[in-house]
Amino acid sequence: MTNVPLEHLQLQPRIPGQITIGLAGGSGAGKSTIAAVMAATLAPLRVEVRGLDRFFKPAADLPRYYSAYHARDCADYNRPDSLLVDEMVAVCATPAAVDVVILDGHLALCYPEMRQLMDIRCFVDADVEEMLIRRTQRNLAKGYGGSHDTILHYNRECVLVGYQRYILPARQYADVIIPNATSATVARDALLEDLCTRIKTAISGA
């Protein structure tokens, strides 16, 4: 998909009193980093970042995938039915006492009900192998997801499958594609600066 030119973005709040931004992309694409950069660049506007991971179903209720590595069914966090969708939509549709709300989640663009809440739909784009390396390094640093081998097999058996089947196809719904490969930092920063300036202008003129 080609980006909608930023000057053509319709920044007319769907939720009264705030601009709502959807931020989707694969695990390890750098969504949380992008959200933090946007929040800092939007200052002094008040910004709330809502991580959609909080809406994962309890582990016992998650869909399953078969892991050849473990030789059993395991919890799948990479499908649209992994989240409590009704609860997520209800919470995200509630106005916040801030200027900008960023909805940060790998599956954020997969749900029509969520897309209808968003004034700007963004997809963070990075090379698949780079995403998986980042994800492995992050999980090891934070001490979750198991051993190095366990994380690698989960990446291949579940994360990559979910990305290709659900997350990447939802890229078509994005208004803005944010490049976040290591080689694209200059283009990324310029795009984010422009986007945040347009948001500030829209809010100041509201």
DSSP secondary structure string for all residues of 31-88: HHHHHHHHHHHTTTS-EEEEEGGGGBPPGGGS-EEEETTTTEEEE--SSGGGB-HHHH
The one-letter amino acid code at 184 reads: A
Domain that holds residue 189: 6-204
Number of domain units in the chain:
1
Indicate the Cα dihedral angle 2, 77, 94, 12, nearest 10°: 0
Q: Can you give the pLDDT at residue 3?
A: 63
Note the pTM of the prediction, 2 decimals: 0.90
Mean pLDDT of the chain: 91
CATH code for the domain of 118:
3.40.50.300
More confident of the two residues 114 and 131? 114
Count CB-CB contacts under 10 A for residue 178. 25
67 in a domain, yes or no? yes
25 in a domain, yes or no? yes
More confident of the two residues 146 and 70? 70
30 in a domain, yes or no? yes
Residues 133-190: pLDDT tens digits?
988 888 888 887 888 888 888 889 999 999 999 999 999 999 999 998 877 788 899 9
Q: Can you give the pLDDT at residue 1?
A: 43
For residue 120, give the nearest of 8, 205, 39, 36 by alpha carbon: 8
Q: Can you give the pLDDT at residue 39?
A: 96
The yes-or-no verdict on residue 2 having pLDDT over 50 is no
1 in a domain, yes or no? no
166 in a domain, yes or no? yes
The yes-or-no verdict on residue 5 having pLDDT over 60 is no
Count CB-CB contacts under 10 A for residue 138. 15
